[in-house]
Amino acid sequence: MMNIFDTALQLSWLIPVLPAAAFIVIMAVFRASNFFSAAAAIAAMAASFLLSLGVAAKTLLAGFTRDNPFVLKVTWFEVPGLHIDMGVLIDPLSALMIVVVTLVALLVEIYSLGYMHGDGGFPRFFAFLSLFGASMLGLVVAVNFLQMFVFWELVGLSSYLLIGYYFYKISAREAAKKAFITTRAGDFGLLLGILALQIMFGTLDFASLDTLIPKYVKEYGDAVLTVVALLIFLGPVGKSGQFPLHVWLPDAMEGPTPVSALIHAATMVVAGVYLVARAYLLFHTLPSALAVVAWVGGFTAFFAAAIALTQREIKRILAYSTVSQLGYMMLALGVGSLTASMFHLMTHAFFKALMFLAAGSVLHALHDRADIFALGGLKKYMPLTWAAMGIGVLAIAGIPPFAGFFSKDEILAAAAGVSLPLFALATLTAAMTAFYMARMFFAVFYGQPRWDEAHEHPHEGPWPMRAVLVVLAALAVTSGAAGYFLHFGEWVRFGPPHHAGIDWAIAGTSTALSVLAIGAAWLLYGSGRWSPDTVAAKAGPLYTLSFHKFYVDELYLWFDRTVVDSLGRILAWFDIKVVDGVVNGCGRLAEAGGDRLRRLQTGQVQHYALIFFAAIFLLVVWMAAAGPAAAKAAALWGGAGL
């Protein structure tokens, strides 16, 4: 048994390579075959998943820790002063991540078998999914910042390709561009931070940095390093959709729903959280950087929840809930609990994938009718989807014994230990989360159908979709309790192992608030006893603000139209008038000069002959006048005899 796990560990480099190979094979060979492309993608991902399980088991058995990881690396390139490796770093953190990523990616690919059936770009879709998974896995097992950055950008690229999958739709193209450009803004900071680290420490290796950073702080203080850490944090802010760079994430739902599930659950957005966790020593050494992480996370959680309260599109609500949950994870990191953050990352991956795929079932059944108030009464048509979505809602709302309860409780407990305002914010956000999730759930599955019951016949999806929902629902129920009872904190941790018991004062408060919020949502949207419009009218400007997403997009647009455009106009003027002016001026000068000079070319041979004789005559006169020296010079000048 040990041997199998050892082999898996030695082959761990195959985990990102297999899906990458699937991508290449599909693009090169199977581009025309639906069956083979899906088979290649799923086989590669399944193999990676099995390897990941083996690696995780070995990690637990061999007792690898963050301080004592398993590293497999080869030199990538080497120039004087710069040595960069590429390889695989296995510790409990990355072992957890590869299992989660491969599992969710595998499930999403299986689900897509049903969801994407009959789509014209089927092989392309599976190729991009494979690339997406490979990039994320390469990022997770990275041994240094540069490898991580390369795969980080690959993740960005593949998300661009997948969000823009329906490239014939303008909105999809725009959303893909928005995602790419917005995350680039953060990546720029990340790159600067990485360069600064290379300059300061001469290495980007995670293990070496772990020993060098404390030494540096002891010697020089933490002022410069804080700036570097905040620059690096810009990358996760963009990638993980933290305020104020969260705007791309809700638009990313323009991609097919399985892609949204993958982006929101296992790849892309959690990359930012993972980066902070991977570089956690850097942040942990710098209290002010940590405080920034905590407050950005806390504020994002609250802010996104406030927006999600009033959204009407099913996937948009889920998207804002993702932003909010990512804020939770950042908050957990910021208050010093890597364990809680990763725990929540894992449970969130399962229940968010579950909810997105359930939403996908709804959209699949009702032909992309996205407005939750255009749905309703679906419970009796789609009981499995109803159950799956219900489990997801209970899990994200933090109702025991569902997964979210355990992970959210850990975050709240960690926040309570550090800062009371943050704890209050997080608890309030938990209640809001329960409310908007319940609102979506009740509006979609209860009440009178608001669609045409006579003509549309919603039904469950084909078997791959149903099977995946069942698996994910089971995980969403059990993963929290499993993590809790199997002492998750003793493995995935920073610092000494710990196992926090459930603080019933905190957990009870948040659970009670969530139950109350769900009750309020039932009264408003389920039973119809209260009128939502009255409440909205009472909230007045707050409702408007939330419905318009606090006008962040409009603010960016305004900024773009005024500042960026006028700057662009100035630069364009400079380019057209000055740069082009100089270039065109040179051209015009030559043209005008040529126009004058060409009049010398009369076409009259005798004119040419005259000039020829005149020149020779003058040369002879000069030679005669100036003597032998001039004759020699003239001979040299003419090149004669040389």
Partner 1 sequence: MASVAAFYLLAAVVLAAAAGVVFKRNLVHSALLLAVTFIGVAGLYILLAADFLAAVQLLVYNGAVAVIVVIGVMLTQKGDMKNSNPPNRMGRGLLVVVVLLAAGMLAAVLTTKWPVVAQPPPGETAGAIAGLLLGEFAIAFEAAAVLLLAAMIGAIILARGGENRGSHRT
Partner 2 sequence: MAAIGLEHYLTVAALLFCLGVYGLLTKRNLVAILMSIELMLNAVNLNMVAFSRFITPDAFVGQLFAVFTITVAAAEVAVGLALIFSIYRDRATTSTEELDWMKW
- Tell me which of partner 2, partner 1, none is bound by residue 614, counting a contact when its beta carbon lies within the kind-specific cut-off of 5 to 8 angstroms: partner 1
- Tell me which of partner 1, partner 2, none is bound by residue 534, counting a contact when its beta carbon lies within the kind-specific cut-off of 5 to 8 angstroms: none
Q: Which of 3, 538, 604, 641 lies at the binding interface for partner 2 (CB under 8 A)?
A: 604
Structure tokens, 339: 């364990």
Q: Which of 537, 564, 592, 620 lies at the binding interface for partner 1 (CB under 8 A)?
A: 620
Using the rule CB under 8 A, give the single segment among 44-52, 200-208, 543-551, 600-608 that binds partner 2: 600-608
Does 624 contact partner 1 by CB under 8 A?
Answer: yes
SS3 623: helix
Does 626 contact partner 1 by CB under 8 A?
Answer: no
Does 610 contact partner 2 by CB under 8 A?
Answer: yes
Q: Which residue has the tokens 């109803």?
A: 386
Q: Which residue has the tokens 């002010």?
A: 288
Closest distance of CB 182 from partner 2, Å? 57
Closest distance of CB 635 from partner 2, Å? 21
Does 598 contact partner 2 by CB under 8 A?
Answer: yes
Does 68 contact partner 2 by CB under 8 A?
Answer: no
Closest distance of CB 591 from partner 2, Å? 13
For residue 294, count other CB atoms closer than 10 A to its CB: 23
Closest distance of CB 613 from partner 2, Å? 6
Which amino acid is located at 438 in the chain?
A
177 CB-side CA count, 13 A:
7
Structure tokens, 525: 């949207």
Closest distance of CB 589 from partner 1, Å? 32
Query: Site size for partner 1, by CB under 8 A?
Result: 10
Closest distance of CB 583 from partner 2, Å? 25
CA distance 340 to 147: 26
Select 367 or 596, whichever has its Cβ closest to partner 2.
Answer: 596
Q: Are 424 and 506 in contact (CB under 8 A)?
A: no
Does 613 contact partner 1 by CB under 8 A?
Answer: yes
Q: Which of 3, 68, 448, 606 lies at the binding interface for partner 2 (CB under 8 A)?
A: 606
* Per-residue contact flags (x/-) with partner 2 for residues 548 to 587, judged by CB under 8 A: ----------------------------------------
Select 600 or 629, whichever has its Cβ closest to partner 2.
Answer: 600
For residue 87, count other CB atoms closer than 10 A to its CB: 18
Q: Which of 586, 590, 614, 626 lies at the binding interface for partner 1 (CB under 8 A)?
A: 614
CA distance 305 to 430: 9
Main-chain phi, psi angles of 608, to 5 degrees: -60, -45
Using the rule CB under 8 A, give the single segment among 109-117, 186-194, 219-227, 619-627 that binds partner 1: 619-627
Does 602 contact partner 2 by CB under 8 A?
Answer: yes
Question: What HEC string does 478-504 produce?
Answer: HHHHHHHHCCHHHCCCCCCCCCCCCCH
Structure tokens, 141: 């097992």
Using the rule CB under 8 A, give the single segment among 286-294, 381-389, 527-535, 597-605 that binds partner 2: 597-605
Q: Which residues within the stretch 611-630 sit at the binding site for partner 2 (CB under 8 A)?
A: 613
Does 596 contact partner 2 by CB under 8 A?
Answer: no
Q: Which residue has the tokens 């900024």?
A: 559
CA distance 529 to 520: 10
Closest distance of CB 634 from partner 2, Å? 21
Closest distance of CB 595 from partner 2, Å? 9
Closest distance of CB 604 from partner 2, Å? 6
Closest distance of CB 606 from partner 1, Å? 7
Q: Which of 601, 625, 628, 641 lies at the binding interface for partner 2 (CB under 8 A)?
A: 601
For residue 174, count other CB atoms closer than 10 A to its CB: 14
Does 621 contact partner 1 by CB under 8 A?
Answer: yes
Which amino acid is located at 598 in the chain?
R
- Tell me which of partner 2, partner 1, none is bound by residue 621, counting a contact when its beta carbon lies within the kind-specific cut-off of 5 to 8 angstroms: partner 1
SS3 114: helix
Burial class from Cβ neighbours inside 10 Å (0-12, 13-18, 19+) for residue 429 reads buried
Q: List the one residue out of 282, 415, 621, 451 whose CA is nearest residue 631.
A: 621
Does 579 contact partner 1 by CB under 8 A?
Answer: no
Output Rg (C-alpha) for the chain, integer angstroms: 32
Q: 401: cis peptide before it, omega within 30°?
A: yes
Select 3 or 601, whichever has its Cβ closest to partner 2.
Answer: 601
Question: What HEC string does 156-205 produce?
Answer: HHHHHHHHCCCCCCHHHHHHHHHHHHHHHHHHHHHHHHHHHHHHHHCCCE
Does 617 contact partner 1 by CB under 8 A?
Answer: yes
523 CB-side CA count, 13 A:
8
Using the rule CB under 8 A, give the single segment among 50-58, 275-283, 381-389, 604-612 that binds partner 2: 604-612
DSSP secondary structure string, 535-571?
Answer: HHHHHTHHHHHHHTGGGHHHHHHHHIIIIIHHHHHHH
CB crowding 130-141: b at 16 or more within 10 Å, else e: bbbbbbbbbbbb
Does 606 contact partner 1 by CB under 8 A?
Answer: yes
Using the rule CB under 8 A, give the single segment among 126-134, 497-505, 615-623, 632-640 that binds partner 1: 615-623
Find the Cα–Cα–Cα–Cα dihedral 618, 620, 624, 626, rounded to 10°: 60
- Tell me which of partner 2, partner 1, none is bound by residue 589, counting a contact when its beta carbon lies within the kind-specific cut-off of 5 to 8 angstroms: none
Closest distance of CB 599 from partner 2, Å? 9
- Tell me which of partner 2, partner 1, none is bound by residue 620, counting a contact when its beta carbon lies within the kind-specific cut-off of 5 to 8 angstroms: partner 1
Which residues sit at the interface with partner 2, rule CB under 8 A?
Answer: 598, 601-606, 609-610, 613
